[in-house]
Amino acid sequence: MRKATICLGVMAVLAGAAQPGAAQPGTLEENFSPTYQKCMEASGGVTVAMLDCGAAEYRTLDAELNAAYRGASANLTPDQRNLLRNTQRAWLAHRDATCSFMTGLRDRGTMASLSDQSCLLKATAERTKWLKDLSPP
């Protein structure tokens, strides 16, 4: 029963992220590109295609994360930059460990990979927003 509940929850998240207009204002999904949304629609629910969509979106989000990090650190003192760097490294380790959890449980099937990828996308989008909020206007 618990496995089914987790899978249904993941499917609901992925289905919501895959539909244009599904993201409500203020949600993280609004930070995903229209290209990702279209790719997910075109995937037809095929896991490999969905994972490919997510991989492409992650490359985009990772570039945005790096740009936001550079922007956030630009006006900091050297000590503050070191603190931000250490914080960012700790966050990356936490994100990666957290978002690989389902796959690490074994016997979770292809939904585990989709769940982990969805976690990675959402966490990266959220951190990017946080870093952008640190940057001066």
Task: Return the pLDDT at 29.
Answer: 64
CA atoms within 13 A on the CB side of 104: 6
Query: Tell me: the pLDDT tens digits for 17-67?
Result: 433 333 444 444 677 899 999 999 999 999 999 999 999 999 999 999 999
What confidence tens digit (pLDDT) does each residue in 68-92 have?
A: 999 999 989 999 999 999 999 999 9
Q: Between these two residues, 125 and 108, which has the higher pLDDT value?
A: 125
If pLDDT is split at 50, 70 and 90, which confidence band does 102 have?
A: confident
Is the per-residue pLDDT at 11 higher than 50? no
Domain boundaries, the chain: 2-21+28-134
> Which residues, at least 6 apart from 35, have a Cβ–Cβ distance to it below 8 Å?
56, 57, 60
In which region does residue 20 sit, left (phi positive, over 0), alpha (psi from -120 to 50) or beta (all else)?
beta
Domain 2-21+28-134 has CATH 1.20.1270.180: yes
